[in-house]
Structure 1
Amino acid sequence: MVLKTLDSFDLKGKYVLLRADLNSDVVDGKVMMSERIKESIQTISELKNKGARVCIIAHQGNPGKKDFVSLLSHCKLLNKFVLVKFVDDIVGDLAVSSIKNLGEGDCILLDNIRNLDEELDINIKPNKIVDVLGGLFDIYINDAFSVCHRKHSSIVLLPKVIKMKCGGRLLEKEVNALKKISIKDCLYLLGGAKPETNIKLLTGKKVLAGGLFGHICLVSIGVDLGYQKKYLKETTLVKGDYMDFLSELKGKLKNVLLPDDLVIDIGGKIKALEINEFPSSYEVVDIGPKTVDKFVKEIKKAKAIYMKGPFGKTTDKKFLKGTNAILKAVSESKGFSLIGGGHLSDVISRSGISLDKFDHVSLSGGALLRYVAGEKLVGLDALG
């Protein structure tokens, strides 16, 4: 599919419905400034500058959760960069009149789209999101790659009823970056604490395994890590049958490079142990120096790199030595580098390495992983 972009249409005077991603952390009831809000500015500003009549729809949190709040605060944060008016409505008379009264270059933000049940359940009839908003716009723009795997009304139904549709600048950037890591010899660096997600990415490409994922890979081939082995089994890292998962994982490690040494925490003091020195009665908190050297050599040879999740525990900077060394090597690599956002982005911020050193730092979670795993994204399909 060839993705249409903002360059595909004459935007002047057009009524444009922009599905943005403004979902941010909420701390003590306060919406925090986020990279998602900042990244949305490019598309919003371009639409305004080109004379479009812009209406933004977005979500915050999920119904019933503490972070499920109004988008009024998001609008205030957007206004630090670009003029946007908040409309305390979604499909009622106030929303409709506000949309119809938009002038060229004007921009409004409607309230949390997930206030409407039909956003999350596309089978609800009648669907006011489609029935009301669908008939008011000339162009639909999806700039929310992070929810492109969700069958939600604003993602899959609105682009069906609005004739012209395309991706926004952020979505365009995400898709272009993902195309570059789709090459056959892309190197995957898989860490973090989500082994069930990572196993989907073991599709034949060379993988460097770190973090809790690296530990569970070692356990699957019979390595007794002692305390860490017990910890892995007792936590809820694997939702299904643990032993069945280990058996499945063991059969997919052909192209996976595992740690040669690991760092343990002995009452606040760290010590590297080679794998043949285990089991240990202490927690594993990082990859060791021999593993770092082995992994860095692979990174230097890679034409493209996808890194997901830290390679050690992130609660103490002492435990981040291995992860920081890997990040430094990726940032200096001549190959294209894509960083899976979220937790790893936070680690980079603490490492002192500029995000600009990486070719692309994704703001997406589930959608990114599904794309990398070769699954189709309904939100992208809807733009075709």
Structure 2
Amino acid sequence: MDYMPGGDFLSLLIRESTLHESVARFYISEMILAVEEIHRLKFIHRDIKPDNFLISASGHLKISDFGLAFDGHWSHDASYYNYHRSVLLTRLRVGVAGDELDQKEDCNIKKQIETTRSLMALIQRHEFPDGIGEDDLEDLLEWRNKWTNRYLCHSMVGTSQYMAPEVIRVWQLLTKEQNHKKMLKMPIRPYVSDKGQDLLRRLICEKQTRLCSRRYQMIDRGQIGTRQMEHICPYVFPDDAEDIKSHRWFKNVPWDQLHTMTPPFIPQLHGPDDTRYFEEAGSIDDMSDSESTGVPSPEKVRSVLQDFRPGFQDLAYQLVAEPYDTVKLRGLQRQIQSAPRTTSLEKDLLKHFVELYGHKERKRPRDRILRDKAAKAVAMDVRKRTAFMGYTWRRMRPEGYLAMA
């Protein structure tokens, strides 16, 4: 996609701290149109959050990060590939020990039972069906589509802070359940209008009463059958934000003219390669091999900041005492911004100090093969050489997405 020099929307929120309601209305309206456009293309995004909206050079928003996007096709099911990877290793008798935590869990009987159950579920779901020959491609694909459509889009994906209440409840089965009705409280400051409060409450609620397209409610009530939806993606409708758009908080929003309006914030750029709005965001790398440089000692911190008061030195040490990832880094930036008895100059200095002396948290690869020291290098080499083998580009046709020869 195009380069978005204005950074992501979350960074804008962090810098501004609070947006006026009229400003928030503009950006939320553009977000609604972006999500609605994805649904018009028969896809669902599944990871909507401020981080995934980028700001263009003109100040308008574009949606990004389609790693979890899904259009109902079984090839988007990650468990399908996990199954093949597991079966292939078993048949080739390749042992993958993983890292120290994997090896420790392998000695845990309870964990072994959970792993076995998970593997059996994968086998049941993806094992080649009886009665279908290897040459019966049409029957095989029909079985694959019918079987997986019963499961897809019911998995917990996305970012937990932005999930719907009913998904969070499933996520928290083994923890103390939080009741969103009790937790949701409107602050006295900043002021939120009655219309804004009503919109929030009608979005953060049980799905039976949630503000959404009536067509989805009809599906839940069984008033629209699956046969009637076979001609479209079975999960989304085009132009499905009509109920949200008609809420009184959006009164007088020129939906068809938003792209011609001047946004509240326009990036101030020195040139096409200006990256200032990305410098504080950091990068997320689940496969990172970077080694930690270690936490600087209190003496080191005091030596570097010897010209500053002891309280300032102690705060600086607290900020770099623990490793951080991208989310934690943004939390540190908010903590710096709200730190009492610190000047603007001191806050800027603290942010720079964290970047220089803080150390990134080394992320654990999600794939056990990549956690195994012996198998990692070979696996990465093969994946790099074969990543796009057999892939073809796609273009939109009236009947949907079709692979081009």
TM-score range (shorter-chain normalised) is: under 0.3
Higher fraction of helix? 2
Q: Which has the larger radius of gyration?
A: 2
Determine which structure has greater relative contact order: mean sequence separation of CA pairs < 8 Å that are 6+ residues apart, divided by chain length. 2
In the superposition, the TM-score normalised over structure 2's length comes to 0.22
Q: Between Structure 1 and Structure 2, which shows a larger proportion of strand residues?
A: 1
